[in-house]
Amino acid sequence: MLATVEHAAGPLPWRTRPRGFPGLLQAIVGQQISTAAAAAIWRRLGAVEGALDPAGLLALDDQALRGAGLSRPKVAHARALAEAFVAGRLSDRVIERLDDEAAVALISGVRGLGRWSAEVFLLFAHARPDVFPAGDLALQAAAQSLFRLAERPTAPELRCRAERWRPARALAARLLWHHWRFATGRPTMDDPA
């Protein structure tokens, strides 16, 4: 079924995200909100001088971050992420040396970043070929639609189904998102305004 996605939806766009602090900050921005809202907040945050640099973000007051659209919890999460980068607990160099599960665990150890955020970051920013964010609601809905399932699969059910796509589960995730975007007409966070 995945082989038919591009036939119906067109060529698969190869979306990427920035590495390092900006990429993980973008994951925080996109948590639990619509892609359109996330894109608008990301644009506003990017316009705040220093916000996409760990030390720069820490120098900003909460009002500047809230003014860009971050909720109080997301301001706290962004600060925790910036502190992890400034302290050297988190960096691209450290992440690159780790296998997928160890990288997910390291990133998930930062307040406000869970498995979903870590997996999305590793897939889009580090191009890890076998990362599969099974907890993503759009992936679950896409699987239900594409495979004509009676119900949306849970994260464990989708993770089990994804085992057949090893060692290219990231490509499978991209194809599922592409199907869902085509089927629903919804934009991604990366689409231009």
pLDDT (mean) for 81-88: 97
Residue 193 confidence (pLDDT) above 80: no
Residue 3 confidence (pLDDT) above 90: no
156-179 pLDDT, tens per residue? Answer: 999 999 999 999 999 999 999 999
Tell me what percent of the residues of the chain surpass a pLDDT of 70.
96
Residue 1 confidence (pLDDT) above 80: no
Q: What is the mean pLDDT of the chain?
A: 92
Kindly list the domain boundaries of the chain, sorted by start residue: 2-13+132-184, 20-124
Tokens linked to 162: 């994804």
pLDDT score for 187: 61
pLDDT (mean) for 3-31: 89
Please tell me the distance from the alpha carbon of residue 107 to that of residue 95, in angstroms, as a whole number.
8
Residue 126 confidence (pLDDT) above 80: yes
* All residues at 6 or more sequence positions from 102 whose CB lies less than 8 Å from its CB, including other chains: none
Looking up tokens 């900003």, which residue turns up?
60
pLDDT (mean) for 36-65: 96
Helix (H, G, I), strand (E, B) or coil at 74: helix
Looking up tokens 């991209």, which residue turns up?
174
Architecture of the domain delimited by 20-124: Orthogonal Bundle (1.10)
What are the φ/ψ torsions at residue 106 (nearest 5 degrees)? -65, -50
Burial class (CB in 10 A: 0-12, 13-18, 19+), 180: buried
Nearest to 21 by CA among 67, 73, 79, 100: 79
Looking up tokens 């040396």, which residue turns up?
97
Lowest mean per-residue pLDDT among 33-37, 45-49, 150-154: 33-37
pLDDT (mean) for 40-48: 96
pLDDT score for 8: 83
Q: Do 90 and 110 meet the contact criterion of CB atoms below 8 Å apart? A: yes
Quote the radius of gyration of the chain (alpha carbons, Å): 17
pLDDT (mean) for 31-57: 94
